[in-house]
A = this chain, B = another copy of it.
Amino acid sequence: MPNQQIRLDVNLAITSDPEINHLMHVSLLDEYQKQISVYHSEIEAEKKARKIRFQELPLQDLSKLKAFKKEVEGKFDTLVVLGIGGSALGNIALASALLHSYQQIANKKGMRLFVTDNVDPDWFLDLFDVINPDKTLFNVISKSGGTAETMSQFLYVWELLVAKYGDKAKDHMVATTDEKSGYLLDIANELGLRKFVVPEGVGGRFSVLSDVGLLSSILIGIDVDELLAGAAAMEKRCQTDELLKNPAYLNALIHYFYDVQLGKSISVMMPYSSTLKYLADWYAQLWGESLGKRYDLKGREVFVGQTPVKAVGPTDQHSQVQLYCEGPNDKIFTLVEVEKNHRDISFKNPFKGNEGTDYLDKRSMNELIRAELKGTSIALADAERPVVNVIFPEVNAFTVGQFIMMYELQTAMAGKLYQINPYDQPGVEAGKKATFALMGRPGFEGEKKRIETSYTFDYRFII
């Protein structure tokens, strides 16, 4: 096996040329090193005090999950995850990266996976046209059981299962929820559902390497040992505070610096790989929800946070790169390269003399996609826009595990740099409260009244 370490290449984001003003100067690494070391000590202390725990997940015992896999193997051909946000994005990203691209049509490694992370009734009901409930296991995931989308789906599916299977309904449903309390835990206990755990001290967006992501992973055929081994290897690699040895910290600093000092308020994540597309979605939640904060740690109003934008290369060269190269210079780019594909194509051109195809003769598709990545990197660099490359030697459970842990640690360090709490999400409460009010939930009458009096509509403005 070649070296399976993922790499961070920051050559197009850092310069040692004193005449270049649009890039971060290498001397700044020295200047920031001391501060990074202080923050590193703080993070290490928080790990020890178990104030942050996501880094412990790679060391967990998988025997319960493995036993469950054996127990249900052959009984089901399909797994449906009822979950949203942190309970969905990791599952989708792992399946997309590590299974057959059309695993919902045919997954040779294990169950097919569907994740119902929305409450669009047309879309949600369509699912039941393509699955056979007899052969389907449902996994409802919610830490509290207060998630309206997930619990509403659960009500529908539970009713359907009871109508079909009576007392045996519970053989088709497992619950992944808090160990100690919550609405979903109460229901799971009442019904006698098999339970898995949303661990304490690990927020939804950091939970992919817990049961939240691993139960799906093991059932659909992902090598979870390798996934955790990759994450553990990255965790170990990032135990140094030395910037040029710690990809998570270096990338955190670069993104922070470009945002705060050079106005790159948008962070574009653009994997040159269709299978890694949904890792960009997972990243968008992690980065956006962790760092997008109104108040800093001292309670001052700061309104910070880079806006993550997900793109796919080369696809979005034909959609977004015009803007990226010629629009406002307000973005930092992460282009993700896959060095070696599992399969490849060598082109043969039978249309001699046709300039549209001649140069492709004897070249491979892997060469093409990597040349496009490099071509776009250069075009962005020519236009004075900063680019970092994340390089996967290959896409497998071990490298994907590294990627996940790298970005989680990067987010922890970014939280320090911005001096905000990267683990909470107070800003989502307002919308939930308004929604509950509009749904007529008891206890929200005051909010309902406020909305009705604050927001009066002018019919001229509906056209």
Contacts of A86 in B (CB 8 A): 318
A376 in contact with B462 (CB, 8 Å): no
Q: Identify which of residues 150-167 in chain A touch chain B, using a CB-to-CB cut-off of 8 Å.
A: 151-152, 154-156, 158-159
Q: How many copies does the complex hold?
A: 2
Contacts of A457 in B (CB 8 A): 11
Provided the pairs A323-B289, A381-B455 are in contact, do residues A183 and B355 lie with their beta carbons within 8 angstroms? Answer: yes
Of A88, A190, A382, most B-chain CB atoms within 10 Å: A382
Contacts of A273 in B (CB 8 A): 120, 122-123
Instruction: Flag the segment in A55-63, A97-105, A208-216, A219-227 that touches B.
Output: A97-105
Docked complex Cα distance between A443 and B303 (Å)? 50
**How many chain A residues touch B (Cβ–Cβ < 8 Å)?**
158
A419 at the interface (CB under 8 A from B): no
A349 at the interface (CB under 8 A from B): yes
Instruction: Flag the segment in A32-40, A43-51, A68-76, A421-429 that touches B.
Output: A421-429
Smallest CB separation, A22 vs chain B (Å): 13
B303 in contact with A117 (CB, 8 Å): no
Contacts of A436 in B (CB 8 A): 359, 375
B369 in contact with A121 (CB, 8 Å): yes
- By beta carbon, the residue of chain B nearest A369 is B119
B355 in contact with A292 (CB, 8 Å): no
In order of increasing CB-CB distance, the 4 nearest A-B pairs are A85-B318, A183-B356, A292-B323, A375-B435
Contacts of A182 in B (CB 8 A): 356
A120 in contact with B7 (CB, 8 Å): no
Contacts of A368 in B (CB 8 A): 119, 148-149, 152, 439
- By beta carbon, the residue of chain B nearest A426 is B326
Contacts of A149 in B (CB 8 A): 314, 318, 368, 372
Provided the pairs A293-B326, A368-B119 are in contact, do residues A155 and B304 lie with their beta carbons within 8 angstroms? Answer: no
A383 at the interface (CB under 8 A from B): yes
What are 22 A-B contacts defined by CB distance under 8 Å?
A11-B458, A102-B127, A120-B365, A122-B395, A148-B360, A151-B357, A152-B347, A155-B360, A183-B355, A204-B318, A247-B463, A265-B265, A285-B318, A289-B320, A293-B322, A294-B327, A303-B326, A305-B323, A307-B323, A307-B330, A374-B435, A378-B455
